[in-house]
Structure formats: C-alpha cells, structure tokens
Structure 1
Amino acid sequence: MHNDEADESGWEVARPGGAPPVAGVRMAGFRDRVGQTLDLRVLPQPTVVVVIGLGNDPFTVDDGTGRRPSTSPHPTPSLVASLSPGPARIRGRDVECIEMCLTPGAAYALLGVSPLELEGTVVGLEDLWGRGERQLRERLAAATAWQERFTLVGEFLARRAARGPAMTPEVAGVWDTIVANGGRVRVDDLAASCGWSRKRLRSRFTAQIGLTPKRAAMLVRFDEAARALRAGGNAADVALAHGYADQSHLHRDVRAFAGCTPGALAGV
C-alpha cells in the first residue's frame, strides 16, 4: 500500500501504488477513526464518482426534495454520482469505503448503462451492477488490508472493462481537448477537429459522455473555477483567469452547477 495516512480530522486515507488496474480509474480508501457523521455536499466535477461502502451503516442520499434517487429498497451501501449531478447530499456514520473517480471513458466501459441514464443523478451502485456489486462488497468487507481490497477491486474492474464498450476515438479526442483547454473551446472547432458536423458530434458525444459538448466544456471550466475559489481566489480574478466574460457570468455558472454563490462555494 502506498500513502497510508490519518489526518487531523480523524480520517484514515489509503491509496494504491503503481499504475491503475484500468485506465482512467483513480482509487482511494477512507476509514472514519473517530465515529463522526459524514454530511457531504455533492459538487459537479468532470469525473464519475463511485463509492463502495464497507461500514456497518449504509449511506443515505438526499436529492434536495427528500427523495432518495435509488431504486434499492433500503439506504444504499454504495453509490454513483454522475458527471453533473443535481443538488444532493450524502450522509453516513462510521464510514469505511473505497472511492473511485472515473474518467468518462472508464465510466462508459465499466458502469454498464448509457451515461444518459445517469445524467443529473446519484444512484445506488447495486442498481447498475446487481449481484456483482453485492458480492464484491462482501469480499471487500472480509478483507482487512487496504492493498488486498485494492487488488480485489482492480480485478473486478478489469473483468468488466474486458466486456464493456470502448469509447470512439473521435469522442475520446474531443473530451481530451476540452479538458486540456480548461473548457475554453468552441464547439465548431471541436467538430472540425474530428471531421464531423456539429449535429453528429453532439449526437455521438452525448451518447457516450452523457453531456453535450457545450455542457461538458461548461462543466470542465466550472470545475477549474471552483477549485480556484476554494483555494481562496477572488471571484473577479477567477472569472478572468478561467475565460468567463465577467464576474456575473461566473456567478451564473456557479449557481447553475452548485446551486449557491461563488462565496458560498468557496467555503464548501
């Protein structure tokens, strides 16, 4: 195991060493050492987040209306947050879990559903992986060492990836261009880069990413701006640095993605 630590907040954090078992997957293990309550606000980001719960108490997910966005009959022990979820909070006690951040390409291969089915939601992982999720979670809970757990997850993901669909090179290339440019791209230029019309790009990209190219670019730009705000950046300076027309433009995007003001986001 690489980088096993316990921070001042009482969380034990473990990360695997070496290359990820599947390209586009970043893993970490978390264990609550002091019995605190987790109350986590979900923010949109350009990765799909998968959390496999290993503790005794399941997570509960509130989508802001009091409804739990999962078809499971009980609070979900594991969950998936899509690229751009709506306002949601994840709560739990005595949390022990493995968190995975998936690039859109990895999510497309591993989750087993169209990204369009996940857009704007947090759902139970069992709803997607069925019995496979339950069996994996049981094996992880029985293992005591983080490295053994990471190995089990890696083997499981490798098997799913071998059977899963591959993102088309054009769509993967457009996504990489959006990320490399911090979301500051024109859709016409993206279409020209792969020799497609805007209509074809929108159709293919949305089917495999779950967002339109324009929305994906907005999400990537928002993510970079949100990181800058949370690092203490001034809203006006952040707006200028990340390609927003002005501070009001940044304010509108933060409202649309996070449901709050830039000042409130900085404190999340």
Structure 2
Amino acid sequence: MRTFVHGSAVWEVACPQRPSRVAGVTMAGFRVRDLDALRMVPHPAVTLLLDFGAGSPVLDSAAGRQQRGSVVAGPGIGSGGAVWARGENVECVQVRLSPVIARAVLGVSPADLGGDVVALDDLWGGEAARIRERLGEVSSWQDRFALTDALLARRHEAGPPVDPEVAWAWERIVGDRGLARVEGLAAEVGWSRKRLWSRFRSQLGLAPKRAVKLVRFDHAAHRLVAGEGAARVAADAGYADQSHLHRDVVEFTGVTPATVAGEPFLAVDDIAWAEQVRRYASLSP
C-alpha cells in the first residue's frame, strides 16, 4: 500500500498485483481517514464504488441529492463540478468499468443511470450487501481485489454484450484520444450517423460526440496535472486553441485549467491508475 499526500489529506492507496480477468476493468483500493470536499472530475468510464469500512463515503450533488455507501455512476459524472465526495474513515474498492462492458456487469445500461449517482443496493439488491460484507471480512487488499474481480467476471459472463459496432467505435475514440470524427466512425462500421448515435447512446450512456469530447478532455486534464503548459496541451490534444481547452475544462469541472492541474482526484491517478498515466505519457509528443 502506498501513501498519497495532497495538502492536509493523506490517502492510503492499494493496487492489484495482477490485471483483471475481464478486459475493461481496472481497480484500486483507498483508505482515507478524513475525506473533505473532493471534487469528482469526469472520467470516460463507469465508476463503481464498493464501500466496506467503518465509515462511509458521501456523494453530494449540486442538485441537493446525496448518496451514501456503495454507488455507481455513469461516464462523465460530475460535469461542471456538480458532484463532491466526503467522509471519515472511508475504505473502499473503486472500480472503473469501460462503458463497453458496463451493461453486462451492472445489469442495466449506463444510460439507465440517468446521468446521476445511483445506490448500488438499488441495482443489485442483496448482492450489494453480500459483497460489502465479504470485503470487510478479509484482511488483505489483494484478497479484496480477487473477490471483486470474481464478482465482476461472473456478472460480465452472464450479462448482455453491446453491439460489436458500438464496441469498435468506443475503442476507436479512446485509441484516438478523442480526435475521431463521428461521421467517419459511422461510415467505417457501415451504419448511418443516426443509427450509430442511437445505439451508442442507449448502450454506453452517452452520445458519440460527447464521448469524443470527454475522452479528449480526460487526456488533456492528465497532461495538465503532469505539469505541461496549457498552450502545448491544447495544441497537442486537438483543440482549436487554448481558449477552446479552457472552455472544455470549465464545462467538465467548473474550474480553470490551472486549478484542475492541482486536483487530488486526478493527481492520485499516478499511484492508483499508474498504467493509465503511463499511457498518457507515452502518447505525448
């Protein structure tokens, strides 16, 4: 377990020793004594938070809604700085699911989450309580990751897959770092733009253009956290100019690029999601 310190906040972070048996699943474990007003920065994945500690994470939305404990949220949740996390003595396994596999794992499409944070009990019923109990009974993080992975693999195997054309379009958007053109994607899979938009939105939870925008923002935001200048990031990430980058960052986070560069939600990725951060670095010129 490694320690992440950001200002007065101290997080203990654990990572699996081996990859998930399900492609599109990544995990990290967190133990935070005092989680105070953490802005949730949108990410191009479905987020699953499995709480098992003595405390309980609380997610507050700008609309006044509040969720406690284990939750799930669709891709891009927190846009505009609308979702904040807090809590004391929080222990949890956080899972990032590729939207391509999320429908099978969750049992519902990310589109059915309504763009909000949803209590896992509402989706999984008693199964959510059982995994929470089992995670609390084991003493090692690697055992917790193994339990979680076994659950995700079983649910994924039993759940419905998305259309191959939709999966291909998503992987192309991610692989191109949000630089793909939606019209070109539709032509390559042999679908009309309208058909791709409809299937993509209903199965993955966001429209193709929104997916392109979110993936491009995520890549740019991590480079800002790595210390790169906004002008260079804007040019390399495919923005028309620096002001375009500024607008997207404000739209997704509610703050400026300079503020995003210091966000702990992104800064901890260097420990919790190190493989992703290395990928961003390898893609930089």
TM-score (norm 2): 0.85
Q: Compared with structure 1, are the counterparts of its residues 252 and 5 closer, same or farther at alpha carbon in structure 2 (3 Å cutoff)?
A: closer
Secondary structure at the counterpart of residue 36 of structure 1:
strand
Structure ranking higher on relative contact order (CA contacts 8 Å, 6+ apart)? 2
Secondary structure at the counterpart of residue 50 of structure 2:
strand
Instruction: Provide the rounded CA distance (Å) in 1 between the counterparts of 2:92 and 2:59.
Output: 15
Per the alignment, residue 70 of structure 2 pairs with 78
Per the alignment, residue 116 of structure 1 pairs with 111
Please provide the CA RMSD for this pair. Answer: 1.6
Among 251, 258, 280, the residue aligned to 1:256: 251
Q: How does 1:1-268 map to 2 (within 5 A)?
A: 4-7=1-4, 10-32=10-32, 35-68=33-66, 75-86=67-78, 87-268=82-263
- Which has the larger share of helix? 2
Instruction: Provide the rounded CA distance (Å) in 1 between the counterparts of 2:211 and 2:244.
Output: 17
Instruction: Provide the rounded CA distance (Å) in 2 between the counterparts of 1:123 and 1:13.
Output: 24
Secondary structure at the counterpart of residue 147 of structure 1:
helix
Per the alignment, residue 71 of structure 1 pairs with none
Work out whether residues 110 and 157 of structure 1, in 8 Å CA contact, stay in contact via their aligned partners in 2.
yes
Instruction: Provide the rounded CA distance (Å) in 2 between the counterparts of 1:31 and 1:119.
Output: 29
Work out whether residues 35 and 85 of structure 2, in 8 Å CA contact, stay in contact via their aligned partners in 1.
no
Query: Aligned residues, how many?
Result: 257
Work out whether residues 19 and 26 of structure 2, in 8 Å CA contact, stay in contact via their aligned partners in 1.
no
Letter in 2 for 1:80: V
Work out whether residues 56 and 89 of structure 2, in 8 Å CA contact, stay in contact via their aligned partners in 1.
no
Superposition deviation, residue 6 in structure 1:
3.6
Work out whether residues 119 and 211 of structure 1, in 8 Å CA contact, stay in contact via their aligned partners in 2.
no
Letter in 2 for 1:22: V
Instruction: Provide the rounded CA distance (Å) in 2 between the counterparts of 1:115 and 1:230.
Output: 28
What stretches of structure 2 of length at least 5 have no aligned partner? 264-285
Secondary structure at the counterpart of residue 182 of structure 1:
coil
Question: After TM superposition, which residue ranges in structure 1, 4 or more long, deviate above 6 angstroms?
Answer: none
Secondary structure at the counterpart of residue 56 of structure 2:
coil
Letter in 1 for 2:47: V
Deviations 1:147-175 (A, max 9, x none): 22222212211221121111111111101
Secondary structure at the counterpart of residue 211 of structure 1:
coil
What stretches of structure 1 of length at least 5 have no aligned partner? 69-74
Q: Compared with structure 1, are the counterparts of its residues 181 and 42 closer, same or farther at alpha carbon in structure 2 (3 Å cutoff)?
A: same
